[in-house]
Amino acid sequence: MGGFFGVASKNDCVFDLFFGTDYHSHLGTRRAGMAVYDPEDGFAKAIHKIENSPFRTKFDKEANSMHGIYGIGSISDFEPQPIMVHSHHGTFAVTTVGKINNVDYLESEILKNNSHFFVMSNGNINPTELVAALINQKDNFIDGIRYALEVIDGSLSLLALTERGIYAARDKMGRTPISVGKKEGAYCASFESCAYANLGFQPVRELRPGEIAVLQPDSFRSLYVPDQEKMKICTFLWIYYGYPSSSYEGISVEKMRYRCGELLAKRDHIKPDIVVGVPDSGTAHAIGYSNAAGIPFSRPLIKYTPTWPRSFMPTMQQNRDLIAKMKLIAVPDLIKGKSMVVIDDSIVRGTQLRETAEFLFESGATEVHVRPACPPIMFGCKYLNFSRSKSEMELIARRVIVELEGTDKVSDEVLREYCDPDSERYQKMTDAICKKLNFTTLRYHRLDDMVAAVGIDPDKLCTYCWNGEE
């Protein structure tokens, strides 16, 4: 994934930039960066790895040495950003969130003009540099941003830092959010709406899909809004990766998760002793379930947070699973002899939930009923570099479908049937996953219930990873 924060201020903006960016640390684990503009000293930029130590530690020095009135910051799961370039638009820095599926095509179009790109250590070009190059294809900066939003297949939201202020542009389908905040002498633009509350900003509004705006210390102006607005905001923002204190399209993440758990409980007829949320991803959903079912919420698994920052992320899958396990410590007294509903945001490969269930049984649980807060994930995400959605054949639902069908060439029609919670094929798939992962029972959330839990027009929500509908 990734997240960003930008601020335009009458006074020095670095304190707000530092904390506003830091509040996006849950969205990325690899690189972070800050770029600032000062009318006297010009532009400055810093990028660090945040794989094994958090943003605040890594940028402590810059927080004290950088200065400027405009700044943008980035937390990224992949490429180093912000990228700073000098072109006919002057000097500007840009940071992006999204995924570019047509990199090769766009790159070759630009290279036709005898241009060049830097190559990253993995041999690929930096997608954010490609965005800067696309902006440079047009005479006018705004037309350049519009062009970049338009030609990218996938999704793109961006912040650009210039001498004139901060430009914010939201993905043309609104896949990811941008929220604008205001305080005396400053405006900010943020992926997470909760990132600016503690900095004294009040919410102004969210950008519309495809909207481009400019922020200056005393003004926030919309420069372009598409005539025909279409929205497909990512539903996984509410289910998993958005921060609980944020709202998107006016819908609170934490409240949505309570409603999600409530609707899960309404379709259940079991009466276990306790409701458990896998920390932290299942906690809010479990609170909603517990309140609706009248079954006590309990914490038999507790995350050891003091020395396991979210950003500690080994690159090998085997180690990742081990680390995920090491982060949780059990409370045996809350497990022994208990039947329980265990809720997590989703099941991806199934490894972690299988191990959690095994561990609960070994610790004396009598029943482990698993209730993911979303339907089976069937398709890898095409729109975001979203680590929950792996390659399709890593998804447990897809692996089980291959086993049940006896072939990996499953037609779209058959896949659609597996997505339908009222079909026989869906039931067989769920039963097979339950057996494979050794749960007592397994019941996924239904797509209609999950969408109802968000509460906005279903046509405005992206649900591609669950039903393949674009």
Minimum CB separation of residue 378 from ligand SF4 in Å reads 10
For residue 85, give the amino acid letter: V
- Stretch in the footprint of ligand SF4 (CB under 6 A) among 85-93, 331-339, 379-387, 408-416: 379-387
Q: Evaluate whether 156 touches 110 at the Cβ level (below 8 Å).
A: no
Q: Does 43 bind ligand SF4 (CB under 6 A)?
A: no
Minimum CB separation of residue 389 from ligand SF4 in Å reads 6
- Return the residue of 81, 95, 126, 235 that touches ligand SF4, per CB under 6 A: 235
Q: Does 236 bind ligand SF4 (CB under 6 A)?
A: yes
- Return the residue of 27, 110, 381, 401 that touches ligand SF4, per CB under 6 A: 381
- Return the residue of 100, 152, 234, 274 that touches ligand SF4, per CB under 6 A: 234
State the pairing for strand pair 212-216/219-224.
Answer: antiparallel
Q: Evaluate whether 357 touches 370 at the Cβ level (below 8 Å).
A: yes
SS3 readout for 170-230: CCCCCCCCCEEEEECCEEEEECCHHHHHHHCCEEEEECCCCCEEEEECCEEEEEECCCCCC
- Stretch in the footprint of ligand SF4 (CB under 6 A) among 1-9, 211-219, 229-237, 405-413: 229-237
| 48/460 with CB nearer ligand SF4 | 460
Which tokens sit at 424? 């026989």
Radius of gyration of the chain (CA): 23
First to last CA, the chain: 19
Instruction: Give the helix, strand, coil percentages of the chain, each rounded to 5.
Output: 35, 25, 40
Q: Evaluate whether 80 touches 126 at the Cβ level (below 8 Å).
A: yes
Contacts of 305 (CB under 8 A, 6+ apart): none
Q: Evaluate whether 224 touches 44 at the Cβ level (below 8 Å).
A: no
- Footprint on residues 161-180 left by ligand SF4 (CB under 6 A): 175
Q: Does 251 bind ligand SF4 (CB under 6 A)?
A: no
| One character per residue 431-470, x = contact with ligand SF4 (rule: CB under 6 A) | -------------------------------xxxx-----
| 295/381 with CB nearer ligand SF4 | 381
Minimum CB separation of residue 429 from ligand SF4 in Å reads 19
Minimum CB separation of residue 379 from ligand SF4 in Å reads 7
| 165/174 with CB nearer ligand SF4 | 174
- Return the residue of 128, 246, 252, 389 that touches ligand SF4, per CB under 6 A: 389
- Cα angle 60, 65, 68 (rounded to 5 degrees) comes to 115
Q: Evaluate whether 377 touches 418 at the Cβ level (below 8 Å).
A: no
Q: Evaluate whether 81 touches 127 at the Cβ level (below 8 Å).
A: no
| 240/439 with CB nearer ligand SF4 | 240
| 215/465 with CB nearer ligand SF4 | 465
- Return the residue of 37, 386, 418, 426 that touches ligand SF4, per CB under 6 A: 386
Minimum CB separation of residue 2 from ligand SF4 in Å reads 13
Which chain residues interact with ligand SF4 by CB under 6 A?
175, 234-236, 381, 383-384, 386, 389, 462-465
